[in-house]
């Protein structure tokens, strides 16, 4: 069986999405029952992170350990990659030590190059262009709360960033209605939108009006206004993004049973109000927990099935 990488969600088929959801829910249920897993016994999962992380790092390390594998966290600054070792060289060596490689980096090209030269599965745990694993666990949370994806309206409010791009990729395969509200000049990458439109992007709407995006929505998503690497822009972005805050007034325009999501860490009082984040419609803590179980399902699919 040839190896599979997780570079972006456009790599997935609809069946693969739903197989992952099914297995993640099963693993979550088994975990709650105290059942010990060993599907990745004697396997080793490496994690190379150029960007800081709390939830993604810990959930991947815990996921590997709970499946019986050994996780190895590798700070990029502590490797020869920091001294300009060519990616093809590092990838071919790491393939002989590890059974899977999880990467959190800046450039999407770095993920693609490791995928090209590694003989083991490569997982994009975040790049500046995509955040596929986060959206997989977010979709799992939507299914957990709503039981289905079809005919849902999912709203994205804020920056047209890597999260928005991965939501677009998912919508192009799964077919739910995705409505994105971004400030002028901060819309998603046009190439990502064009590729999605060639698949099934008829239900993907991009606008500059959060009211339009959220009205009647079943799910509301947001993220920080300035991502890692954009710290110098943070103050300038505040005035631009202020009208896009997810607050009680905006949430009141959505479906009465709408859920609110945030991938965390959250800046209370900026992209989301304290009232909404801690309110009854917020599912952010379940959303964070589900990263663990989705990452288990991903690792099992890629490593145990290889």
pLDDT the model gives residue 75: 84
pLDDT the model gives residue 228: 65
Q: 99 is written with which tokens?
A: 């059974």
In angstroms, rounded to a whole number, what is the distance separating the alpha carbons of residues 298 and 306?
12
Same domain, 138 and 278: yes
Same domain, 70 and 165: no
Same domain, 79 and 139: no
Same domain, 30 and 84: yes
Residue ranges in the chain assigned as alpha helix (H): 14-32, 55-66, 87-97, 108-117, 132-146, 162-174, 190-200, 210-214, 234-241, 248-251, 274-277, 284-299
Q: Which of 231, 147, 140, 226 is nearest to 183 (CA)?
A: 226
Spatial CB neighbours of 160, under 8 Å, sequence gap ≥ 6: 180, 182, 186, 187, 188, 189, 206
186 belongs to a structural domain: yes
pTM equals 0.95
Same domain, 151 and 71: no
115 belongs to a structural domain: yes
Residue 205 phi/psi, 5-degree rounding, is -120, 130
1 belongs to a structural domain: no
Same domain, 198 and 274: yes
**pLDDT per residue rounded down to tens, the chain (306 residues):** 578 999 999 989 999 999 999 999 999 999 999 999 999 999 999 999 999 899 999 999 999 999 999 999 988 888 887 788 999 999 999 999 999 999 999 999 999 999 999 999 999 999 999 999 999 999 999 999 999 999 999 999 999 999 999 999 999 999 999 999 999 999 999 999 999 999 876 799 999 999 999 999 999 999 999 876 677 787 889 999 999 999 999 999 999 999 999 999 999 999 999 999 999 999 999 999 999 999 999 999 999 975
Residue 283 phi/psi, 5-degree rounding, is -120, 25
Separation of first and last alpha carbons in the chain: 6
Same domain, 251 and 155: yes
Distance (Å) of CA 50 to CA 57, 162, 235, 242: 11, 16, 24, 30
Same domain, 41 and 75: yes
174 belongs to a structural domain: yes
Domain that holds residue 241: 134-284
* HEC profile of 31-47: HHCCCCCCCCCCCEEEE
Same domain, 97 and 80: yes
In angstroms, rounded to a whole number, what is the distance separating the alpha carbons of residues 174 and 178?
11
Q: Which of 58, 9, 63 is nearest to 294 (CA)?
A: 63
């Amino acid at each position: 069986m040839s190896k599979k990488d997780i570079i972006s969600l456009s790599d997935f088929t609809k069946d693969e999405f739903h197989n992952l959801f099914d297995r993640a829910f099963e693993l979550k249920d088994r975990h709650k029952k105290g059942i010990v897993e060993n599907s990745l016994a004697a396997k080793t999962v490496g994690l190379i992170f150029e960007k800081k992380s709390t939830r993604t790092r810990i959930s991947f390390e815990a996921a590997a350990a709970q499946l019986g594998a050994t996780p190895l966290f590798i700070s990029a600054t502590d490797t020869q990659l920091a001294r300009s070792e060519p990616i093809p060289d590092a990838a071919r060596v790491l393939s002989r030590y590890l059974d899977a490689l999880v990467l959190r980096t800046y450039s999407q090209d770095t993920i693609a190059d490791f995928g090209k030269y590694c003989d083991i599965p490569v997982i994009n745990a975040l790049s500046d262009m995509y955040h596929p694993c986060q959206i997989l666990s977010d979709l799992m949370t939507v299914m957990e709360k709503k039981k289905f994806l079809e005919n849902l309206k999912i709203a994205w409010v804020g920056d047209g960033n890597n999260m928005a791009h991965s939501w677009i990729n998912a919508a192009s395969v799964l077919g739910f209605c995705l409505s994105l509200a971004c400030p002028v000049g901060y819309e998603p990458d046009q190439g990502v939108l064009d590729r999605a439109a060639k698949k099934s992007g008829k239900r993907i709407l991009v606008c500059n009006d959060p009211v339009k995006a959220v009205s009647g929505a079943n799910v509301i998503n947001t993220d920080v206004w300035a991502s890692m690497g954009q710290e110098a822009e943070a103050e300038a972005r505040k005035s631009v993004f202020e009208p896009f805050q997810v607050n009680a007034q905006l949430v009141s325009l959505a479906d009465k049973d709408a859920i609110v999501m945030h991938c965390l860490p959250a800046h209370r009082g900026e992209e989301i109000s304290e009232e909404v984040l801690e309110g009854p419609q917020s599912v952010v803590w379940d959303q964070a927990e589900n990263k663990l179980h989705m990452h288990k399902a991903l690792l099992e699919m890629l490593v145990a099935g290889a």
